[in-house]
Structure 1
Amino acid sequence: MAVFTEVSESSAQELLTQLKLGELVELKGIQGGIENTNYFLTSSEGQYVLTLFERLTHEQLPFYLYLMKHLAQGGIPVPDPMSNQDGDILLTVEGKPAAVVNRLRGKSELSPTAAHCAAVGDMLARMHLAGRDYNRQQPNLRGLPWWNETVPVVLPYLDASQAALIQTELAHQNHIAASSAYAALPRGPIHADLFRDNVMFDGSPEAPELSGFFDFYFAGVDTWLFDVAVCLNDWCITHVDGTHDAAKAKAFIAAYQSVRSFTPAERQLLNPMLRAGALRFWTSRLWDFHLPREASMLQPHDPTHFERVLRQRVAHPVTL
């Protein structure tokens, strides 16, 4: 992810000492992403990831960090926050809220097969069930209220066709959110950003082993179906034009439902949620692209990708 805040080796060593994680071997900034400052932190004791939070506050962060610890304790392969001698997992580095987690093994698969999609569907359902008894509450901070606030901000950067699409879709999502079917959707903690680069795999291409979900810093309590939709919009499409990949989607959905079956309301609202997922990321990418912050290695994503996905979801609805 981008480096907004430079961390010195002396600060990194001081942090390792607090956490009793040995001596610093290497500190390396991570490229990609646009929200937080991330470093690979290698010590004599192991490999970790240091995150400094650029937008999230000390008040918001316990939800994310303790969710990760809750899921890790429930058998879900996610980064487990390290604690200091006082038991704190929310730390401060260079004046910023920070956390250190264990580094997951494996690597991301950016050209997934149906087998990768099935593994993600299975683990996502397990994650949803494991989070049911998590006792902290925080809404999805990039949900509908944020779309309503942000779409007017990005409108001046759009042409007439784009402006018509984004405003029409926002009105549609407000209508869906007021429906009885939407009120009936099962809810709980969701990842909300489970893209290909936020999942790790080990094993062989023929028999991939999912080794972890990470980057939970968009998580919140929302509908489980929105989490499913975000995944389908990334894992189960043809990226060049945003078209639906039926074979990969079938593998993902079958694996998810082998753990947790969809309710009637979820079956009814799958395509509206696919559209919601596309709108959310089109809006956020427009915001990041046109109103960027300065950062070392900052690489904003192309907003038009999710415009194409949204147009596909509107023109070619997907049903269960």
Structure 2
Amino acid sequence: MSVFTPVTRRSLEPFLARYHVGSLVNFHGISEGVENTNYFVDTSDGQFVLTLFERLNYDQLPYFLGLMDHLHQRGVPTPAPRRARDGALSQPLLGKPAALVDRIPGIGVADASARQCAAVGEALARLHTDGQGFDGHRPPDRSSDWWQATAEALRPQLETDECELLDDELAFQAGVDRSHLPSGVIHADLFRDNALFAGEQLSGLIDWYYACNDRFIYDLAVAVNDWCVDEHWAPRADHWTQLLAAYAAVRPFTDAERVVWSAELRASALRFWLSRLYDRCFPRGGDLTLIKDPTPQRRRLERWRAGEALPLP
């Protein structure tokens, strides 16, 4: 979350008037994240998060907001999107599509406990199972075609060792057979800053705007890569095993998923290494904008390439 489009009280008040949320009390920008403009908004009726979509258009929003609504109704811990007075889940604001969702309690965790990892594993498995009833479909926008195109754009900006690592990993990933893997709705960005906790209790999964239909095991790899490694990017065995065990208790793994597990950990690290390299080399303008360091994702990739990943249970 960042602020690319500054919002004023003068522009926000008529936007809020389209909703049944009372009158504006206070609002301020949120600095975390890299894609959209986000504000915390307090009204006389509650607390909300306002998102202005910087890249997504109105035709794309029903998937994300409809998915959040679908999961929330089924008890998956997600913020509920608010419908405007006309029934729509999004409205225009400053020339951008915008949405208002309930602000859920809790904070992100910088250093997760093993118990918190277990809660994330269970919630992710529930997302994968309960998401089966959602009738929307969206292909992934960070697939292998995106890897190749982003690599081409980055090569003139990279050091020789970075190019060598990138080319070798792209060649490896091109040879992985993923044709028989279970798939459906995934979060695709379940990092520690996209889950909120009140103590050890998971209160919600947030930032759904990379959600798509793709491989469940890849979604799990994204989470494990962030939640279950130490400060040197090595596996934390207790966190790793508890997250995977809690997930498997809801949705057991298939043999095909066990075969590709290490490759999917590498694919997750590659995807986020590429996107963070791109943001470093081609930064976007904006207030409070956060550019994340690509180095941790490279170190994860190097560890999994060296065979240090723990197996699925």
Give the TM-score normalised by structure 1. Answer: 0.95
Aligned mates of 2:48, 2:122 — CA distance in 1: 26
Match of 1:39 in 2: 39
- Deviation sequence 1:263-297 (CA, Å, 0-9, x none): 01011111000000000000000111110110101
Distance in 1 separating the partners of 2:54 and 2:132: 29
Residue 118 of structure 1 contacts residue 256 of structure 1 at CA under 8 Å; is this kept in 2? yes
Q: CA deviation at 1:210?
A: 0.5
| Regions of 4+ moved over 4 Å | none
Q: Which moved more, 1:53-62 or 1:93-102?
A: 53-62
Structure 1 position 248, deviation (Å): 0.8
CA drift of 1:232 comes to 0.5
AA matched with 1:42: D
Q: CA deviation at 1:85?
A: 1.6
Identity of aligned residues (%): 43
The answer for unaligned runs of 5 or more in structure 2 is none
Letter in 2 for 1:267: R
Q: Which amino acid aligns with 2:228?
A: C
Deviations 1:135-166 (A, max 9, x none): 11111111222111111111122211111111
- Secondary structure in 2 aligned to 1:210? strand
Partner of 1:49: 49
1:217 corresponds to which residue? 209
Q: Which residue of structure 1 aligns with residue 292 of structure 2?
A: 301
Aligned length: 311
Distance 1:115 1:218 in 2: 26
Could you tell me how far apart the structure 2 residues matched to 1:70 and 1:156 are?
44
Match of 2:180 among 180, 184, 190: 184
1:264 is aligned to 2:264: no
- Distance in 2 between residues matched to 1:144 and 1:243, nearest whole Å: 26
Unaligned 5+ segments in structure 1 are none
Q: Is the 8 A contact 2:53 2:97 kept in 1?
A: yes
Corresponding position of 1:274 = 265
2:140 paired residue number? 140
SS at match of 1:99: strand
Contact 2:104 2:203 in 1 (8 A): yes
Matched residue type, 2:36: N
Determine if the alignment matches structure 1 residue 232 to structure 2 residue 228: no
How far apart are residue 241 of structure 1 and its match?
2.3
Give 1:46's aligned amino acid.
G
1:292 aligns with 2:288: no
- 1:10: how far off? 2.0
Partner of 1:250: 241
CA contact (8 A) 1:190 1:221 kept: yes
Is the contact made by 1:192 and 1:220 (CA closer than 8 Å) also made in structure 2? yes
**Secondary structure of the structure 1 residue equivalent to 2:97:** strand
Partner of 2:194: 198
